[in-house]
Structure 1
């Protein structure tokens, strides 16, 4: 099998990898019944390794001044080396799983082999848990999650309904220009959209260049140890009801809740002043939105800076989040930042490292939003009961958060640096308190489209 050329965009993630922030994408799912190792191995072989030969290759970077790299076939490739079967300690299965995920997030991937692994953890209650790790150089988070979902099958008697994976969409300047040229009567609307996008882009650029995250007790170089935890399932109807009242989106609601949770955790653990705003890096999908496995891997996404409010009433924070996200969505910031990522990927190591760290350190961390299947799915015949997954942090970032929807529910997960932030469960507890306070104060009702009956939001508990 021939070597595979490595795109500069992919090689960048290898060059900025470090022991204190391992650039691995980590996904976790758990099942109602045990997953058989032989069945999981067959699914991995048929749906991951065989269709995507890069999973048989290891990365090789040229040590020269200008970046270059290839994916070199591993002559000793053995799928069993990448699929590892373990047993969780008895008792408190969720805590044991979260502890193991934290350990895996702390562990560098072996770059002398294809940099990915699947850990089948037996003894998670009555079922199993599966942790998938892959280096960011193999694929971006959107493509890796699509690949993970491609391992799943509909339950017997159900139809597959996996919505496309994305975070935020963006305006298409080329489409607007072509629309105006082909249909002159639409040129006014296209011109207005282009003007709005240009103004928003200018505002976003000024904000990015000038933004410096306020210092907190979490600020500083991270350590090697990481922790991970996630919420119980939050009903999607609850979040949709909160969003509907203000003309916002479910994503806006989750980001507003996330900001409130960070503020609560910061105040309760540190007894110090909480800043009004903190910036996060948010991945934006640049691929056409399609369900199913990706046709190719590698990286094709943009990172945008989103400033989230932490203090103030929930409704005010929600309105602010919605306005900020809409401004980015109707701008060319994703296209510009993607172009900048490509330039950094082609720069010499000292320049690439310095610029990448400077931009990354404008944010406390990364937050992703992954819409998953709308119906229950199965992995190797075992029903999947929950999914979470994180993008990695880089430079001195200390917190990664994920918002993952699955089968009518949403989970919000946290991966944090133990040295700077501590135990991720503190953030989960703060999120639970924030959600309970919002429900208590607003109590939205949402009419279920399936039954036509009004439903009262339930509180998320651990």
Structure 2
């Protein structure tokens, strides 16, 4: 949209959609609305090569990256993207050095600093930080304002900077959360496929009932008070888990007849309970709701054709208590109901309406709905084989959507090259250091793996040794019965 306007020679002052402008209005010092992604490499990244990639694949292709936001009124909606007359790529691409000692901790500290810092709205609101000295390689932190694009499209842009390693094919796949069931194509084919249309009719009825249920639940839901309840502060932290082999999660999903996403959410629920119980010395609630972004447009591999925000937020209630098996079953049932619901369409419509509302009404209602969740949870399927950034092999990726209102936590589930990492971004005042959440997740995963090994492994058979650099809990479950008839894992 913006790119076409520039090519056609139109004025550089381009109206911003109400939905994009809403995220600009919701930006606050205690919850900066920046999408943050981090990747690190096995060898150093050349700064000149990185700048060239950014210029060719991002800035030249999407001229909005040369524009700054301009607000028309402090009370009424309305904003525009105005070309920055002082645009300088060097202002946005910064080269820094990590200390020689503890580079991973230093990287997480730097990411926390950037998550706590407001983006400069006097210039295009994005930055790329090349951090040299991350082990034998580099780390790259990308920050973009939510008004530029949603997290799904920004992640696709990040992947657009990567190239297959020599001898590898392009292995990028679409990025997003769970998809939505669409029965209407089968309904329209009723004259040719009556049985298929009948099944589609049942699915439409089911979707309608699920929509009513989910909408009433969202409107009536209030998270129980926890030690994390309350207005957040301005200081944020970030941390991420060791890589977990995707095969391990697939084994767990296969054993439970669930999806890998279900398993990750059940593990996350258990980790939240552990962290709340151990660190906060407070009673653990039975359920806690998160906001989960859902992309509403078909996704293809490669960079997006256009930017902006075209997604919905749905409320997903995670069970925290009970055995792992029970939590997986409950998560599976809740997510499947959302998949066969039109709640995402309704919440997207609400976002669009709020984007057209005056500031007091838009911010009040946005804060009301944000307050129903402890934070934002994303699931990002990345490239299935290792990729390279400016010739340097990428060895890990994490990334977070921002929080809004009084939300105090953001979490991501990111798969890359056959491994999965769980990343946490936390508010220091309410939650504390994000590394506490990572430790709780590690302990939960270890406990679940040991539970399956103990139940199925023959006595006297030692557990397999962990791979170097991989979580000690993240080794294959040798004794999980892969012939379990309850189903195969799905993303």
Q: TM-score range by the shorter chain?
A: over 0.9
Match of residue 274, structure 1, among 272, 275, 284: 284
What CA deviation, in whole Å up to 9, does each residue of 1:120-163 have, x standing for no partner? 00010100000000000000000000000000000111111111
SS at match of 2:115: helix
Cα distance in 2, alignment partners of residues 456 and 280 from structure 1: 35
SS of equivalent to 1:60: strand
TM-aligned CA distance change 1:188 to 1:311, over 3 Å:
same
The residue number in structure 2 matching 1:158 is 168
How does 1:230-249 map onto structure 2 within 5 Å?
A: 230-249=240-259
Matching residue of 1:84 = 94
Q: 2:317 pairs with 280, 294, 307, which one?
A: 307
Instruction: State the distance in 1 between where 2:71 and 2:453 align.
Output: 55
Structure 2 CA distance, aligned partners of 1:104 and 1:383?
24
Instruction: Quote the Cα distance in structure 2 between the aligned partners of 1:456 and 1:255.
Output: 25
In structure 2, relative to structure 1, the CA distance for the partners of 1:246 and 1:123 (3 Å cut) is same
Q: Where does residue 53 of structure 2 map in the other structure? A: 43
Give the drift of 1:375.
Answer: 0.4
* C-alpha separation in 2, matches of 1:292 and 1:386: 19
Unaligned 5+ residue runs, structure 2? 1-5, 7-11, 456-462, 474-491
Provide Cα deviations, 1:257-287, integer angstroms capped at 9, x if missing partner: 0010010011110111000000000000112
Q: Which residue among 300, 307, 313 is the counterpart of 1:297? A: 307
Aligned CA distance change for structure 1 residues 353 and 182 (closer, same or farther; 3 Å) = farther
Superposition map of 1:270-419 within 5 A: 270-419=280-429
Is 2:435 the counterpart of 1:435? no
The answer to whether the 8 Å contact 2:184/2:200 transfers is: no
Which residue, out of 109, 119, 124, partners 1:114? 124
Contact 2:183–2:201 at 8 Å: present in 1 too? no
Separation (CA, whole Å) in 1 of partners of 2:183 and 2:350: 17
CA contact (8 A) 2:399 2:414 kept: yes
- Please say if 1:5 is aligned against 2:21: no
Distance apart, 1:186 and its partner CA: 2.8
> Aligned to 1:443, what secondary structure does the other structure show?
helix
Cross-structure match for 1:136: 146
**TM-score (norm. length: structure 2):** 0.90
Structure 2 counterpart of 1:450? none
Whether the aligned pair in 1 keeps the contact of 2:227 and 2:430 (CA below 8 Å) is yes
8 A Cα contact 2:238 2:433, kept in partner: yes
Change (3 A) 1:379 1:329: same
2:260 & 2:464 partners in 1: Cα distance?
17
From 133, 147, 156, the equivalent of 2:157 is 147
The alpha-carbon deviation at position 185 of structure 1 amounts to 4.0
Deviation at 1:66, TM superposition (A): 3.4
Structure-1 residue corresponding to 2:274: 264
Query: Are the counterparts in 2 of residues 278 and 364 from structure 1 also a CA contact under 8 Å?
Result: yes
Q: Indicate if the aligned counterparts of 1:235 and 1:457 stay in contact, CA closer than 8 A.
A: no
CA distance in 2, matches of 1:64, 1:413: 35
1:178 paired to 2:166: no
What root-mean-square deviation, in Å, do the aligned CA atoms of Structure 1 and Structure 2 show?
1.7
**Which position in structure 1 is the counterpart of 2:489?**
none
Offset from partner CA, 1:4-50 (integer Å, 9 cap, x none): 22111100000111000000000000000000100000000000000
